[in-house]
Structure 1
């Protein structure tokens, strides 16, 4: 088995596509007006409109902008530099400024336009660096 992607369901994909392009600096591939993907070397973040739920059995399958259990995480080279670069963009959705966590990552936590949690992190302890460099 190979992990492929995580998909966010939203009522309007345009704001999310723009947001993720701004915060990651990566242009998303938009296949249709209802589906886009952000490709990275390690994983893909898919964004689908609520209209795509019809293909999975109906709109009751997922609720847009209703996530309270998942954090979308991106490993970055320097989380403090990313914070300085994004401070104005995420000021209204900032959850936590860069903080070193007990497991050795320095993390910046904020919300996307739909309220989904996003974590930018950099491993900073020798143990965390070793874990991600394997």
Structure 2
């Protein structure tokens, strides 16, 4: 088994696509007005409209902009440099500027336009650097 994707359900696919393109520097693939993917080397962030819920059992399966338990995480080469590049795009949703966590990652925490928590991090201590060796792309 291999983990490949996380999907965000949203009422505004275009807004989230533009946001994630801006903060990741990657171009999303827009398959339909209701579905897009932002692909990385290790996993995909999928963005689906609330209209796609009909394929999974109806509108009550998930609710857009109601996440209060999941953090979407991206490993980056230099979290400080990324912060400088995206500060304007995340200003309204900034939760925490780059800070070294007790487990050894330097993390930048912010919210996307739907309120989902996003963490960009760089391994900062020797153990974290070993743990993520070869995973920064």
Aligning the two structures, in what range does the TM-score lie when normalised by the shorter sequence?
over 0.9
Aligned to 1:94: 94
The whole-number CA distance in structure 2 between the counterparts of 1:83 and 1:29 is 24
TM-score (norm 1): 0.98
Give the aligned partner of residue 40 of structure 2.
Answer: 40
What is the CA distance between 1:88 and its match in structure 2?
1.4
Partner Cα distance (1:95, 1:67) in 2: 15
Q: TM-score, normalised by structure 2?
A: 0.96
1:12 to partner: Cα distance:
1.1
SS at 1:60 equivalent? coil
User: Aligned-pair distance for 1:55?
Assistant: 0.3
Aligned residue for 1:14?
Answer: 14
2:128 counterpart residue number: 128
* Equivalence for 1:30: 30
Inter-partner Cα distance in structure 2 for 1:97 and 1:127: 22
Unaligned 5+ runs, structure 1: none
Structure 1 runs of 4+ aligned residues shifted over 2 Å read none
